[in-house]
Structure 1
Amino acid sequence: MDNRSPIDRDIALISRSDAVPTILEVVARTTGMRFTAVARVTDTQWTACAVYDRIEFGLKPGGELVLESTICNEIRGHHQPVLFGSASEHALFSNHPTPKLYGFESYISIPIFLSDESFFGTLCAIDPAPAKLDDPELLKTLQLFTQLIAAQYETEQRRDAAELALVDAQSTARLRDQFVAVLGHDLRNPVQSISMGADMLERDLPDGRERRVAKHIQRSCQRMSELINNVMDFARGRLGEGISVSLERSHDLAGDLEHVVSEIQRVHPDRKIEVTMSLDRTFRCDRRRIAQLLGNLLSNAITHGSDKAPVRVFMTSTESAFELAVENAGKPIEGDKIERFFQPFTRGTSASPRPGLGLGLYIAAEIAKAHGGTLQAASDASATRFAFHMPLDCDETSQPGLTSVGA
């Protein structure tokens, strides 16, 4: 927020321009007049914004003159330039009080207009000595200088507005992301309580309508947990913390990933999930995050894939890489839209009434990045496939093979 007065802002904008001091010096050298200035003239104030002073007039940027004592105030009314080389010999200004008050003989004041044709102020020059100002090209030159000053002022004004807007936007975004993070954290406990209650009801109730309702609550809680986790990870990333990972040896990673598949299968018993797994070595990773990546990819496939074909999961590890892929049948994604799926709040086309927040693939891509890997997408008429590839260091140790194929 800018708490400066309008006049102070105008002085700052003019003083920020590197061209204005040069213009004032060129005007002084061109006319032979030793005091030049850019003045902001309003209906209440005359204020110097920039000054070139070789006569020790004593006026500095921010300095004021009594508005009614200036010829610039008259120019504010009639919008015409005023130039004279000798006040004492001028038919009108020989009796004008202003030259006598300020002790000048030669005088220039050219109005400055902004692009919206509003009056900003004047380009002024004074000198106690007479000056030769009868060159017809001089007025044109000075008017060009006023146009350049106006353009410089408006350029700085636009930059100032853009910087203020950026600061406001950053502040708003940070507050929003903090709110989202706090909200997500506060939602976790009640969702977990509801989920635990639904689990107890499903175990204790006989088959029937009530048990189906309990299963529906479980599915809703699982979906809500996914949304909360994704929102909190997104908020952390936006707040500069990034996706955090805790790397350790991947003992029983296969069990973690199988658990993710079984949980999603339990929530979606009508969908078939086929798993091909071949993990024959351990490696450093964050098992919880890899499981979250798989969960996000599976949820995306369940939501957007065809329910007439199975969702297929492939997990393999070799000496050089760990790979995890999820593919589903369905309408192919156009090539120019695929990369956008890794941006936050991007949703795919789905007949599902609850397509989600559009954060799942973004979070999955961030998890892949945090592991030094990549998440890529490909789609054609046969399937849409999201594949996570993570290079492994050469010092990874092998373990007995874990190979399974099943649903």
Structure 2
Amino acid sequence: MTDAAASAAIPAPRSAAIPADGVPPEQRKVLTALVLAQVFSGAGLAAGITVGALLAQDMLGTAGLAGLPSALFTIGSAAAAVVVGRLSQRSGRRAGLAVGYAVGAAGALGVVLAAVADSVPLLFIALFVYGAGTATNLQARYAGADLAPPHRKARAVSTVLVATTLGAVAGPNLVTVTGSVAAAWGIPRLAGPFGLAALAYGAAALVLVLLLRPDPLLLARRLGAADEQVAAAGTPAGLPAPPAAGLPAGVRVGAAVMVVTQAVMVAVMTMTPVHLQHHGHGTAAIGVVIAVHVAAMYLPSPLSGWLVDRNGPRVVSALAALTLLGAGLVAGLAPAGAVWALALGLALLGLGWSLGLVAGTTLLSRDLPLRSRARVQGNVDVLVAIAGAGGGALSGVVVAGASYTTLALGGGVLALCLLPLVLGRRGH
């Protein structure tokens, strides 16, 4: 083969197909599909957060196990993270995310059936399956970063996260409406939001099947393969190709940040509705507080992304730890009747989670090789989900044995453990 023929056989380098700003034109189509799907999935995500603990308390007859629903669907989310990650690695993001949302919809429908039948075993199984929607909602953020250049990955992640806001804020405020509709059909009121979740997750799956084209991970692999062949063609004969680098320390730091922020956020969030109910507040007040919290989780995402791209993920991870400490102080020391103070504490809790999630996700999306990216991201999300399950399960025990104040302050102290990790290893 002549040199000219060999050059013609080499795929065009990535830079030849990408505008000067470094963003592939396909990235805009990908983000549009992901944003629309996240709007729907946000409503499905909010159901378990808002009324899961209350439904379990009614069916189990005790507040001590009110954190169990959060633990169950978080454990389910851990199992689903592995499946979604590996399916995405093998068949692309579209297949992995669509299947995850479809399974989450089936779980939400199962919760409704369990409430109608007053079956605790069915409730536990359905909550476990429902967790697939939570895992998929979070893994969608990785799809947003697959085609983004390194200097814009955090903002791509934040674009996907902020899209969850509309559905996630609307969901808790529809508790009363969906409860009334459920009651009119002979279904327990607290199961109403899970009916909404089934419809919302199903709609998200349909959107991805129809609109997530091209598949961002598969396209990123093709572009990466073209770059590698171009680089190999420029390597002098007789010299070996540079070895593949191992997983950098940044991946482990990013995983630790997401694990701690998830555990603290889930623990405090899970018991806040129960804390409010024990002090005489109804579902309307609970819905407002949780809506503020969920809005603070997702609405500041563009700010989180900008901060990470500008200052680096380690600095923003430290800011996340300090914000979670502030959340624990405000929520833990708030007077029981001061709904506004609890709303402020939960807003800080959501903001701290947002900062930590965007920073940690950016480290994983930036530093992981394409050949193992989705699989490793899924495995890391398993750890994140397990941390959330532990936080949710222990939260009821801590409140029953001590107090909500102890839970909130303890969460803030735990978040401070991140500071030595993210600030003590500042090397590249």
The structure with more helix, counted as a fraction of residues = 2
Using the size of structure 2 for normalisation, the TM-score is 0.25
Please, what TM-score do these two structures have when normalized by structure 1? Answer: 0.26
Structure with bigger RCO (C-alpha 8 Å, 6+ apart) = 2
Report which of the two has the higher share of strand: 1
State which structure, 1 or 2, has the greater radius of gyration over its C-alpha atoms. 1
